[in-house]
Amino acid sequence: MAVERVRVLKREYASDGGDGSDESAWPDEIKPNEDAINCRRVYLQQDTGDDSEVYLDRDGDDLKLRDPGNASGVSLTTIADHATRRQLIHFIDDGPAEGFASGAYREVTGSPFPTLVTWYTSSAKTSKILDKAITYSGVFPTSIVWTIYDTDGATPLATVTDAITYSGPFESTRERTIA
């Protein structure tokens, strides 16, 4: 089924920022490339039904999308900031990427096997982004601890610890603890 596009009728007044030449005693259709609708909330509907549970509205300075599974709403700011959130999922492969400032600096400690890998905001090493501490039994890593730091570079935000066991030279189990 094709979605029908409709135009809202308007009563435009120069006192509200409208074009004085559009002022009329009779409603006229909006001009999509010129007019803006001034309203509290916009409801979004499915092909059938007329619900009031899915909508966009403003909450202070935030534009929020709300639905039955998210009654408090998700703000546009939250959605836009997702790429820059300091969550381990953004780093756990190999350090910071898109959404973070260029110039991040990585330092590896331990030889021949790394025991600590730390990412800093710069080569000045004054503010940590994340580190990965590795404990070995022989040549096999038995514990890997990831820690992500707040923007102050010192306060841990989250830690993920992997406890690894082996069957001969092969990894057999890994238990992950998230704190």
List pLDDT tens digits, range 5-44.
788 887 777 777 766 666 677 788 888 888 888 888 888 8
pLDDT band (50, 70, 90) for residue 84 = low
Residue 63 near residue 17, CB atoms below 8 Å: no
List pLDDT tens digits, range 93-147.
677 776 677 899 999 999 899 999 999 999 999 999 999 999 999 999 999 999 9
Domains in the chain: boundaries: 7-38, 40-84, 85-178
* Structural fold of domain 85-178: Lipocalin (2.40.128)
